[in-house]
Amino acid sequence: MLMLQVRCRGEEIAVCDDTSALRYSDLAEYAARLAARLKRTGVGAGSRVGLFADSSAEMMAGLWGILFSGGAYLPLGTDYPVDRLSYMIRDAGIDVIVTQDKLRGRLAEMILPGVTVITLDALDAVPGREDSDCLCNPALLEDDLAYMIYTSGTTGAPKGVGISHAAILNQLTWLQTEQKLRVGEVILQKTPVSFDAAQWELLAVCCGVQVVMGRPGVYRDPEALIEQIKQHGVTMLQGVPTLLQALVDLPDFESCTTLTSLFSGGEALTRKLATRIFEARPGCRLVNLYGPTECTINATAQTVDPAGLENGPEMIPIGQPAANTSCWVLDENLQPVADGASGELYIGGRQLANGYHNRDELTAERFITWVSPADGLPLRLYKTGDLVRRNPDGGLQFQGRADNQVKFRGYRIELDEIRLAIENHDWVKAAGVFIKPHARTGQPVLAAGIELNTREAPLMDQGNAGAHHHSKKSRLQVRAQLSGAGLRTDAEIEGRKAYALAGKDADAAQRRLAFARKTYRFYEGGEVSAEDVLSVLSQQDQPASGTGGLEELSAQDLGYLLRWLGQFTSAERLLPKHAYASPGALNATQVYVELANVAGFEPGYYYYHPARHELVLTAPRPASDAPVMQLHFVGKIPAIEPVYKNNIREVLEFETGHILGLMDHILPAHGLGIGAGTDVPDALPHLHCGPGHVYIAGYAVTAHADRRTELPVDFYVQAHGSKVSGLAPGHYAYRDGGLQQFSRHIMEQRHVIAINQRVYQRASGMISMVSRDAERWHAYIDLGRSLQRVQQNSCRIGTMSSGYSSKSGNDLVAATRLKEILNEHGLGSGACYSAVFGKVSAEQIAHEGMHEDSVHMEGPAELIRRDLQSLLPDYMVPSKLALVPSMPYSASGKVDVNALKAFPEFDDAAAEREVIKPRNDMETTLAEIWCAQIGLEDVSVQDDFFEIGGDSLKAVKLVQGINRAFDTSLPVQVLFEDTTIEALARRLTDGGTGSSLSRAVPLKKGAGIPVFCWPGLGGYPMNLRHLARELDTPRPVIGIQASGVNPGEQVCGSIQEMAARDAELIREAQPEGPYTLWGYSFGARVAYETAYQLEQAGCEVAELTLIAPGSPELPGGDPVRADEATLFCDASFLTILYSVFSQTIAPERVAPVIETVSDLEGFVAYIAAEKPDLDPGTILRITRLVTQTYAPEYGLQIEQRQVAAPVRLFKAAGDNHSFLEEATRTLAAPAPVHALAADHYELLKPGGVSELAAAIRRHVPAWQPAQPETRDMQEA
């Protein structure tokens, strides 16, 4: 093939590097000279010759010289470890090596005596006759070796794979005809030469393609790769998905306009990456290649259709076989599996390797002879070890490695499936998944390492982010907030005069404003209009309602004014609240008050202590005839450094501005205002702050008429989609009291830090403030002051800060994007501060809890893990998920899992964990029970039961153990409320028993109108927890547990009686309507009846949502209501009863129950044997509950019990008509029915519950504004 190109285009460039090039004729002559030299040393057909050369045009000549000699080349990567190269040379029996003069010294370390070394530099410049003879095809057979590649496989030492001339000729011919490897194309050879994928890049030259030799190591350097693509006009590029991801992450890749074909291989190509590739290079051809080394590079291919990506599989198929290649999907008995079923891939055809060098036993094991059932002919097949299935179009879908399946917690799981699920997350660049033993328990732990995609998931302090920006598990930020590090310490105050101020107990107005001014991450108040935005931006200064000024300011007045700067506490909050925003809620900006001739205080400098509401004298000052009140702001650096690494000065100035914005709001009521400011630190020596403090600014408090409130700040508004009525999507400038659109471009979701992105999704738009005087010292103070004023609006518009610029070049991504938009339109783009906004409810404004501040609990790691819980079964969700700075890669470009395991992020012993030992006998006993049930050697009294491995079965055993030890009768749901040893001990100390716990089980805490939800048959609400979590709502979710689940409780005789008790229970939790009622499966009937009874009592039911209200279709039809003896002989009833405990009606699971059970005692014994962790007493109570309450005929009663509340049905796949659907013809207003893809039991599991929650948000009006939740790390 090469000689054909030499004859056709001898003067055209065949191969080049950055410094040299060879024409086809040059390449042939150079190769001929080497071939002649090799022949003189005895090389011929069957010989194996080492090729040890750096990537260069010269190396290409060496490769072809070996082939022209009749020998087979063994590529020896110059970046390989010496030991591996030595092994390859010895194992292959290499006695001739072609190299470059500069590498001879390195070769000396690894070769044995007697090996001939030929350097490419030393070849004669002029070919002789003998050389020309070498250009004639050597006498070779089809099975003669062309090259040998060493592959490690998954186990054992590297193995030499011999590839014949017939095999590589078939591959190149297929590439030429099917994959457009033709004259005129330019391919970049960048794959390390020792890998099989490098061979088609090198040998493409014989198809007429110009080969550009990549710089050494270029496959590890995406920027250099882009540079070479542009320099040489490369049209074709292949790479592993990891490399392709790195390329599309670089903006410069979009300018690689010569690229027309991209090939992905080596590992699975995800739909997410394919989509990104087409976004970066629209019109480019993308091909997914698959093939083991043993099948000559590429055995199958799939050309990716961009139009089919949206609805296609998460993993791109590996497609159809190459020419003269066959693919067979076989089971463990080597029988073909049915189409669509999973099996192991076996490959046959011309491209099979000859076998493994000197490994006859292994060759026989992996290259088998198989008789085709179609024609009875024997076929030679290669056993790939890869699991695949056939798609409907006949193409193959890769499903992972058979040897990458592991047994974990009794389940067989595929690690690659988990890895791909993680890598399909928008935030993830690369992931590695593995099993590791837990440092404390020795139990296996499923772990995952993740490298974030910084384009999609920027972090606070990007490039310098502390571990708490990756994960909030350490609670570092909460600890910093609770420590009060921003306050002056007792030692710093000791010995100084302290003055208790009047008004220590905040009045209602102060509390109302303080708790209303919060960072809002949920927007439950409905639609935002353009008028709302204008109202916020056009707020007028507060008018003066007092005239006294400083002269008449009393001590009572001063105390009242300063109280606004103090802490506000609530029984619903862990952290104190402030009426002004503080980045990170760290309150690292201290306020000092300089007074003279004011309110009777002696002239001096005072520290205002916000926790004690005191003024502490730090130094006297000269007296003054005129009253003086100056506010000095000082930043305490050590208080903020644990959380922020970048932009510390900026956030302290923002906080100063927020305090001043608060003062702008409250001072006018006293005839006062904020006057001129200064950044000159003359006052700092009088404040005696100590090291680690910086002076921010000082501002005078003046008469209202002398205030200075005009700020050199421009406002810009961004409307998200159609979320602001009256505004088209895009950017608007606020000018002359109106909004003027100047751009359709916006700051996108990816431009805000990762943990804020779902708040962005919920928001209606963004407000940005840009300083017109960016070089002035007060620019960032002005921005904070402006945002505080916005936050104090009376229009129910809530905000969350979402990006700002930097003095030190560390702009957050949102600020960078805002500047791009403004600069594009010639608008000033200095210091800036942005916040997302949305409409909030009156309930949110009044709430004194911390739901809006739940940011402090989850970082990117936790959020990714929570998203995985909606995609994967629980047992496949990594319990240890760590973000790593960068992923380790092997030389082939794949994630090096062994290297990842050694990362310190996975060192549990070194992980931060505060262990608080038991402090009394009760805690000691509880700790012993916990350790025994969860399998721990030690436990902290503050460990959360569910976080350290607790589940429903362990919960039952744990509570049973506690009840035995303390002779009490706690119900299982106690663990929903008291999840730590500390909390359980407190309940037991207080005399808590089962009677003190309500059947109203808090599945999710929150604020506002609760959602009351009934579980299915059996009445135990544990399986509703996934739904409660997936809803992403600030509202509490309460599960209604059936009476009879706990010991001593009576089972209700009818659904009516059950609903009457539940209605009473609900009215205790929520005395007045409107009520939100949901019911799942059998619980839908109870929810409906409860709604009816509440309405009959004069209460309003706002929403009645029935989830899977029908029963799954049973082979024998519904059970017939009968006495107990008859019921336990009814196969349909046993199927339903068994599903209560197993969550399945699969025939293979149910058949043994039907065959062996004939009465209640037999059923209890069967379940106890199958689930030994369940207490037989609990099984008996739940079984009796189901036996007494299961009533299929309940639908016949509906016509007499119609409700006024809006009813919606969400129907599970495969369910029969529900009681309500059967009665539709009798209803005044038939209920809408929404069909779901998940079946009856999948609906409440992680995969199905995601579909269910999305459907509820889509179809139930009250839930339509809700969006997926996120967390933020800033308090603003």
Which of 205, 189, 185, 296 shows the shortest CA–CA distance to 239? 189
> In the prediction, which pLDDT does 1266 show?
37
Can you tell me the distance from the alpha carbon of 1036 to that of 1010, in angstroms, rounded to the nearest whole number?
5
Instruction: State the CB neighbour count (10 A cutoff) for residue 122.
Output: 9
Residue 895 bridge partners (DSSP): 889
> In the prediction, which pLDDT does 1193 show?
45
Q: Is the pLDDT of residue 751 over 90?
A: no
Q: Is the pLDDT of residue 89 over 90?
A: yes
> In the prediction, which pLDDT does 873 show?
67
Can you tell me the distance from the alpha carbon of 1204 to that of 189, in angstroms, rounded to the nearest whole number?
72
pLDDT in tens, 60-72: 999 999 999 999 9
Inter-residue contact 272 to 426 (CB < 8 Å): yes
- Dihedral Cα 182, 188, 191, 196, nearest 10 deg: 10
Q: Is the pLDDT of residue 15 over 70?
A: yes
Q: Is the pLDDT of residue 650 over 80?
A: yes
Q: Is the pLDDT of residue 876 over 60?
A: yes
Angle at 550 between CA 545 and CA 554, to 5 degrees: 85
Can you tell me the distance from the alpha carbon of 54 to that of 62, in angstroms, rounded to the nearest whole number?
11
> In the prediction, which pLDDT does 472 show?
41
pLDDT in tens, 784-813: 999 999 999 999 999 999 989 999 888 888
Inter-residue contact 695 to 685 (CB < 8 Å): no
Would you state the structure tokens that stand for residue 1000, as one six-digit string?
């109203």
> What's the pTM value of the predicted model, to 2 decimals?
0.57
> In the prediction, which pLDDT does 1005 show?
73
Can you tell me the distance from the alpha carbon of 801 to that of 655, in angstroms, rounded to the nearest whole number?
12
> In the prediction, which pLDDT does 126 show?
44
Q: Is the pLDDT of residue 940 over 70?
A: yes
Would you state the structure tokens that stand for residue 1137, as one six-digit string?
């009863």
Residue 837 bridge partners (DSSP): 765, 799
Task: Give the mean model confidence (pLDDT) for residues 171-180.
Answer: 96
pLDDT in tens, 1096-1142: 999 999 999 999 988 887 766 665 555 666 778 888 888 888 888 88
Q: 466: pLDDT confidence band, cut at 50, 70 and 90?
A: very low
> In the prediction, which pLDDT does 976 show?
62
Of 115-119, 198-202, 287-291, 965-969, the least confident: 965-969
Which of 161, 255, 210, 176 shows the shortest CA–CA distance to 60? 210
Instruction: State the CB neighbour count (10 A cutoff) for residue 994.
Output: 18
Task: Give the mean model confidence (pLDDT) for residues 923-936.
Answer: 81
Of 402-416, 573-587, 634-648, the least confident: 402-416
Would you state the structure tokens that stand for residue 774, as one six-digit string?
């960016």
Strands 614-620, 628-636: pairing is unpaired
Residue 163 bridge partners (DSSP): 147
Inter-residue contact 953 to 1173 (CB < 8 Å): yes
Residue bearing tokens 């890749």: 253
Q: Which of 314-323, 864-873, 1241-1250 has the highest mean pLDDT?
A: 314-323
Task: Give the mean model confidence (pLDDT) for residues 1201-1219.
Answer: 86
* DSSP one-letter string for 230-268: HHHT--EEEE-HHHHHHHHTSGGGGG-TT--EEEE-SSP
> In the prediction, which pLDDT does 949 show?
59
> What percentage of the chain exceeds 90 in pLDDT?
48
Eight-class DSSP state of 621: -
Q: 957: pLDDT confidence band, cut at 50, 70 and 90?
A: confident
pLDDT in tens, 1185-1198: 888 776 544 444 66
Of 20-29, 179-188, 580-589, the least confident: 580-589
> In the prediction, which pLDDT does 653 show?
96
Three-class SS of 1171-1216: CCCCCHHHHHHHHHHHHHHCCHHHHHHHHHCCCCCCEEEEEEECEC
Inter-residue contact 19 to 213 (CB < 8 Å): no
In sequence order, what are the residues at sequence separation of 6 or more whose Cβ sits closer than 8 angstroms to the Cβ of residue 834?
747, 766, 767, 768, 769, 801, 802, 803, 804, 814, 815, 818
Which of 943, 1031, 965, 963 shows the shortest CA–CA distance to 1255? 1031
Of 29-38, 156-165, 615-624, the least confident: 156-165
Would you state the structure tokens that stand for residue 630, as one six-digit string?
């100056």
> In the prediction, which pLDDT does 73 show?
97
3-class SS of residue 554: coil
> In the prediction, which pLDDT does 513 show?
95
> In the prediction, which pLDDT does 485 show?
81
Can you tell me the distance from the alpha carbon of 173 to that of 999, in angstroms, rounded to the nearest whole number?
72
> In the prediction, which pLDDT does 467 show?
46
Checking 991-995 for CB contacts under 8 A at 24+ apart, the result is 992/968, 993/968, 993/969, 994/968, 994/969, 994/970, 994/1046, 994/1047, 994/1048, 995/969
Can you tell me the distance from the alpha carbon of 89 to that of 48, in angstroms, rounded to the nearest whole number?
10
Can you tell me the distance from the alpha carbon of 61 to that of 2, in angstroms, rounded to the nearest whole number?
12
> In the prediction, which pLDDT does 1111 show?
82
Checking 171-177 for CB contacts under 8 A at 24+ apart, the result is 171/200, 171/296, 171/297, 171/298, 171/322, 171/351, 172/1, 172/200, 172/203, 172/204, 172/206, 172/207, 173/323, 174/298, 174/322, 174/323, 174/324, 175/200, 175/204, 175/207, 175/298, 176/207, 177/323
* DSSP one-letter string for 277-345: HHHHSTT-EEEEEE--GGG-S-SEEEE--GGGSTTS-SB---BEEPTTEEEEEE-TTSPBPPTT--EEE
Q: Is the pLDDT of residue 411 over 70?
A: no
Of 22-36, 67-81, 990-1004, 1082-1096, the least confident: 990-1004
Would you state the structure tokens that stand for residue 735, as one six-digit string?
């000018």
> In the prediction, which pLDDT does 1052 show?
79
Which phi and psi (to 5°) does residue 735 adopt? -135, 130
Which of 1188, 1195, 1138, 1189 shows the shortest CA–CA distance to 1167? 1138
Inter-residue contact 228 to 258 (CB < 8 Å): no
Q: Is the pLDDT of residue 276 over 50?
A: yes
Three-class SS of 964-1027: HHHCCCCCCCHHHHCCCHHHHHHHHHCCCCHHHCCCEEEEECCCCCCEEEECCCCCCHHHHHHH
Can you tell me the distance from the alpha carbon of 253 to that of 193, in angstroms, rounded to the nearest whole number?
24
Which of 438, 16, 431 shows the shortest CA–CA distance to 241? 431
Residue 211 bridge partners (DSSP): 15, 187
3-class SS of residue 550: helix
Compute CA 58 distance to the chain's CA centroid, rounded to the nearest angstrom. Answer: 46
Residue 607 bridge partners (DSSP): 592, 616
In sequence order, what are the residues at sequence separation of 6 or more whose Cβ sits closer than 8 angstroms to the Cβ of residue 1205?
1077, 1091, 1095, 1100, 1101, 1102, 1103, 1104
Q: 439: pLDDT confidence band, cut at 50, 70 and 90?
A: low
Inter-residue contact 876 to 413 (CB < 8 Å): yes
3-class SS of residue 72: strand
